[in-house]
Structure 1
């Protein structure tokens, strides 16, 4: 690696001040992280910025760059919102409010437009992250050609992100039953949902794996349809709904069989 790894006294003091800033406000934190990155102030202890962030702040790579991205968007809004006659009181107050804009990789002018729309949707208040996410979705759907990458029958995981209505189902696996331009109609073990395509992650299963998870879903749905599940049964089934694999462990299989014996065998 080129250049000296040693920091001068001034650089070390600067690094200490910047590290303290990172632990405070999101805007200043993002600016501080970007300065540490661009000036390579991590070089005395780390070979790269990503490992430095993880060791020093316990920030993952994605989270560190999200902070930097949020600071850039904030600065852009700070510079350009006055020309849109929007009061400074409507500037973001939390990093999460800017996450949807950062993730969408909008251009500077689009960032201002979407934030303006979000403020309007929030009835002239600082919008929540969910409102900003909706403003981003509406903007993209008006300005991009629809492309749904999924297939009917595909098994996916629901990732709620900033969609409050999906929080209950975050991490749950589901099966796509219908494709729409920007959403998918999906089946979980207990209900049917309309989920935006950006809130779905494919499992990429082969035919045999797909059949295994499908069979598990059928068994879970059969239990739900008895209409007599108690809280303990729901607790078990909600846990199975968030499996990160296409098969049951021996203990999970035993638990599911106990529920089937309790609810299905008796009803039969």
Structure 2
């Protein structure tokens, strides 16, 4: 059989322009997905079909809430990089073909979500240099972030069962969680895994502040968490869920008399539904 040769045919100017436009769309796909997911979550546009954002993501897109959070956080980092690096260039399609080298997938910038906006830009520029002026791999970025964290390491002094307040600051993954109290369930080097009224998440140390409760207060909050979580998972009306969310932002280790009565009423409704 004759050997097939690949012909390299030059593109017309309009074809070249269209090719670059399509390539930029591919490179920005994760950014657009992250922005869309953030709006779906923040405006609760899933509420007509699903009770929680986690259930919606699993059924509609086939991935976990954590995967959605990765994309949302990556979109925030990407936007930050373009804002700082390309703020004087009026081209919304800027990617690696523009005034700077920009990420082309979520994994490349996942390690940057742990850093402040200015640090994100500095680390990304350093990663691009180490990659020889090309888009760096996630490993290159991760290694640089790890070196920074090792230089500035702060010992993790949190204890299992400790009650903390979540400080959302500018972390997009913690949007809606600011001010919530949480119980530490796992202590890591630079993070803690905590339980809030509606689930579990991993939070950096700078986004936590201990309430410095006594052991008996921590135990009391553990019991409150169990009660709120049990009722919240029963799929009650939205107004009821709002009340439970308010309990998730308590700044005291007890319920008032009225809060206790309302929660007991909801628990009885929950028990009634279980019987049915």
TM-score of the aligned structures, taking structure 1 as reference length: 0.49
Whichever structure has more helix as a proportion of its residues is 1
Point out which structure has higher relative CO (alpha carbons under 8 A, 6+ apart): 2
TM-score of the aligned structures, taking structure 2 as reference length: 0.48
